[in-house]
Structure 1
Amino acid sequence: MDDNHTRSVAYHTARTDGGTTIVTLHGEIDLLAVPALSAALDALTADAEPDLVLDLSPVSFIDCTGLSLLCRAHNRVRSRIGRLRLVVPGGGFLRLLHCTGLSGAFELYPGLSEALGSKDLWGPTCLAVA
């Protein structure tokens, strides 16, 4: 690997709005970042009926382990009769979800206000991916 390679270190911020926990993921969600992020999301989805919004707008890169992290969070939330919404900026990330067959697995929203307002603007039938 090139010694001059810089990577965007993944981190997250979390806050609560009403009964909804909003987690904003930042940086690169990859093999190196997933263990710490997984532990944080596991803690946030441990209780019954979690209501979680993951804002992926600041994410600069996501690999298959990052997608696995999202699927794990989705499965944990569903098993606890909760709700998980993803805020995705569009473009490449939507294309990735579509190509992997995951676009229909998540509630997808173009912005945080839409996710909190529960308007499903990007369902699987509305995805226009080039």
Structure 2
Amino acid sequence: MRQESASPTRHLRVRHHRGHTVLEFRGEIDIASAAEIAPYLDRETGRPGARVVLDLDGIEFFDCSGLRLLYRARSQVLDGGGQVRLVCTHAMTLRMLRITGLARLLPPWPTLDEALGVSRPAGRRTGR
């Protein structure tokens, strides 16, 4: 069930879907936008038992500042005993995730439904 969403910044939309908080990153994720996103990311990922999906489908550009946000979110969610998933199909971002090893820590899924285990076609996950 989808609930209303909020856009605390033009680079982040927060919504709830199937019991998960979905953080949709948008546009260019660089040092400036990462500074805008970080407080909202911390609020959502710092909750005990948080169930979070980081959705990168709306990005146009993603640099090392974005990678730091993903790692930070993963660490906070796991430290709080929660679950975190990543949705990403952006070719350059997938390459960065693989090169840095973050894809092993936070395996990317091609769709939100697949990340949540709603539907799984016979194919494999992206990034593996």
Same fold (TM over 0.5): yes
User: C-alpha offsets along residues 20-39 of structure 1, whole Å, 9 cap, x if unaligned?
Assistant: 11111101111001112111
Output the CA distance in 2 between the equivalents of 1:90 and 1:44: 24
CA contact (8 A) 1:90 1:110 kept: no
Structure 2 counterpart of 1:43, one-letter code: R
Output the CA distance in 2 between the equivalents of 1:51 and 1:70: 14
Output the CA distance in 1 between the equivalents of 2:70 and 2:51: 14
Bigger helix fraction:
2
* Corresponding residue SS for 2:72: helix
Output the CA distance in 1 between the equivalents of 2:36 and 2:60: 17
Output the CA distance in 1 between the equivalents of 2:57 and 2:68: 18
Matched, 1:17 2:17: yes
CA contact (8 A) 2:25 2:58 kept: yes
CA contact (8 A) 1:47 1:80 kept: yes
CA contact (8 A) 2:47 2:77 kept: no
Instruction: Name whichever of 110-119 and 50-59 sits farther off.
Output: 110-119
Matches for 1:1-130 after TM superposition, within 5 Å: 11-117=11-117, 121-122=124-125, 127=128
TM-score (norm: length of structure 2)? 0.82
Q: CA deviation at 1:55?
A: 0.9
Structure 2 counterpart of 1:101, one-letter code: G
Structure 1 counterpart of 2:125, one-letter code: W
TM-score (norm: length of structure 1)? 0.81
Structure with bigger gyration radius: 1
CA contact (8 A) 1:10 1:29 kept: no
Bigger strand fraction:
2
Aligned residues, how many? 116
RMSD: 1.9
Structure 2 counterpart of 1:59, one-letter code: I
Output the CA distance in 1 between the equivalents of 2:109 and 2:101: 17
Query: Alignment identity in percent?
Result: 34
